[in-house]
Structure 1
């Protein structure tokens, strides 16, 4: 079975003076629809705002830069609107159907990348958004008669309600409008929606090698609800993330830097052996093995696994699955006893991030 796994850059979906939305389309990368995952990147200019909306899939957003105020409402009737402050390094969980609006109250661009699971989406491999206001929102779609009866107003008022907002998706607020948007009172308050991945304690920290930080449903309960887990991988120059595999799909976004990625597939062959760079996305289908090698400037990746548990099978280091059969290792690798012993010792003291050899 042939797999097209080449890393892809996003394409422009929508742009205005308020910002833009950029997505990875399943038309350009069929593995997105086959694996039922999707991705998009959202940029807001200062004083830019995203109109209220919801989507048809659950996703995790990772803040690449800037700050933003977000209003969130879940479908749980007991939950009131949450008012969230986002900053670089935060992840935000977004269950399917939850409504949000966004406002950049900072003085520089705000950027966030979303990685999603789309098995229940209208179009597997795509994130579909439903706007509540503006020319492509529901207020403009329903007839004035329906709007008037729904909100107990006359039809003239219904036409004003549905037709006053002419901007689609994103709007740029004026100075007076911006003053009316309050900021969260406690910007560092813990809440059910967000957690800072950059500040979380790494599970792996190797001198001159890098760090790996994982958040699962156990550490962040919202991830359990949406069925996803997240990882931030920082590789220093020429360090390697050793081969591993998962029983669920992994989606990688290159935050910065560059390097190489190899993916081992069916029939004992590599299905991908290529360079990757900043702003590219690639997908590792379930059970396939992946390894990343940073270039001379290092590489940082944000990834999502389509499971809240983040169970990973390691092929190297002290947690390697090969360590479960030490008495059989010499036979299966067809090695001499001396080299087998050396290999076992390196495994027992090794880690999943390996710095470059001197």
Structure 2
């Protein structure tokens, strides 16, 4: 009798659990459907219009003169090619003792140092101030301390997440020139497909007015009028402090109203790059420590890997996913070192890729950087980018580029020169050939592990196909198919063949 009652209770419990599971399963498609719709909506929010009939090599669309330098902009809002890639760019030329004022943006930023040297500072929220002045009494309130500041030089790339405040200072004797890319199409940007820079200091009137005008041109006339009238009532252009009440600023910083009003820089006409009147004081390791490290290395105190790690202040760090926290992630990497090239041909040139494997912060930014150096008349194999757009800037020399779309149309065929920008949309086939002065570029790709697929060469898609497939696809003999597969043994970077040395374009 007891066993029958137990069996009955077990059967009722099983029936109840079964009905509950069925009810949950019936509700899951609704939940999954709503989740999928939200995910598709999110993806569509970042998807851009890439129906391009023609591509062009781009010059800066505007130029802003500052007190101690020049900023030249490739505005995403003014060009449909940049809108396709979701990337905007700016080239800063910072004079000696010039300071690019602190700012943060609505999207991840990568910049490349074309020439010169200086300091780069980035303020990561929640991270400690690990650099502090020594030799002062502990009770002294003016003791200097700040987050880590990085020395930058020619060939460095520096990556910063969206919303991270950063600044750049030129402490060298020559101009510091850098080109900066902002990935506005990145999912970290929750605003719109416009480049927005939020300035923490100064009063960059020309910079902000131009961006505001371009954004307003894409809106309807009535909305533009409402936006203009509202913004004029609130506050003129300026840094982020200019919109706050002076009294609230004074209370926030525990300072007087006069000092609080200085934060707004209302009468400042220096724009984004200002001149530092005296030497900029930054807490950083001195040359004595560097000389001691070299001496210990020569004595054999530690190996080359350890020397390089210490020489870069901990920024040269091999990672297994555990050593680096977000506060200690490397933001800088020199992409110009020939020894780190991924592809090298002594007769053709080299290609170096920096992605989430050798610069882990790019995993958060979802970006890849590529440095290409082609010697005179050398060629980079026809290829396409599997999973990213590519925006490249020519740093030296010139080269011929051809780009083909999904209809087999030639959408670009021309020479790209130093200082120009070119967009290569995802999956568009592209080929590059250097001119007589060589061809060098820096490219940003919109994926943290961007991959390319060559169409010619030893590791190409054509090489991997059976001869009969090629024979039937191109209506050629098997011998011709075999030559098509095997005649080029180089990988990605091709030297000039003897029969082509006289070819001009």
Q: What per-residue deviation string (whole Å, max 9, x for no partner) do you get for residues 273-300 of structure 1? A: 1111000001011111111111111110
Which structure has the larger Rg over C-alpha atoms?
A: 2
Q: Which segments of 5 or more consecutive residues in structure 2 lack a partner in the other structure?
A: 1-50, 131-146, 204-237, 291-310, 316-329, 499-505
Indicate if the aligned counterparts of 1:16 and 1:170 stay in contact, CA closer than 8 A. Answer: yes
Return 250-259 or 146-155, whichever deviates more: 146-155
Aligned: 1:275 with 2:415: yes
Indicate if the aligned counterparts of 1:43 and 1:110 stay in contact, CA closer than 8 A. Answer: yes
Match of 2:111 among 21, 40, 61: 61
Cα distance, 1:158 vs. partner? Answer: 2.1
Matches within 5 A, 1:33-182: 33-77=83-127, 81-119=147-185, 120=189, 122=191, 124=193, 126-135=194-203, 136-163=238-265, 166=268, 167-174=270-277, 177-182=278-283
Q: What per-residue deviation string (whole Å, max 9, x for no partner) do you get for residues 61-94 of structure 1? A: 1110000111111235468622100000011001
Structure-2 separation of matches of 1:219 and 1:153 = 45
Distance change >3 Å, CA 179–CA 217, structure 1 → 2: closer
Name the counterpart of 1:13.
63
Name the counterpart of 1:284.
424
Aligned: 1:336 with 2:470: no
Specify which structure has the higher proportion of helix.
Answer: 2
Name the counterpart of 1:233.
372
Aligned: 1:245 with 2:384: yes
Indicate if the aligned counterparts of 2:201 and 2:265 stay in contact, CA closer than 8 A. Answer: no
| SS of equivalent residue, structure 2 residue 76 | coil
Indicate if the aligned counterparts of 2:52 and 2:81 stay in contact, CA closer than 8 A. Answer: no
Q: What per-residue deviation string (whole Å, max 9, x for no partner) do you get for residues 224-252 of structure 1? A: 11100111111111111111111210001
Specify which structure has the higher proportion of strand.
Answer: 1
Distance change >3 Å, CA 193–CA 95, structure 1 → 2: same
TM-score by length of 1: 0.92
Structure-2 separation of matches of 1:157 and 1:337 = 81
| SS of equivalent residue, structure 2 residue 177 | strand
TM-score by length of 2: 0.66
Residue-pair matches, total? 354
Distance change >3 Å, CA 260–CA 76, structure 1 → 2: farther
Q: What per-residue deviation string (whole Å, max 9, x for no partner) do you get for residues 158-214 of structure 1? A: 22444488233221011xx21534555467334211010011511111122111111
Structure-2 separation of matches of 1:184 and 1:272 = 49
Root-mean-square deviation (Å)? 2.1
Q: What per-residue deviation string (whole Å, max 9, x for no partner) do you get for residues 143-171 of structure 1? A: 11221221123433422444488233221
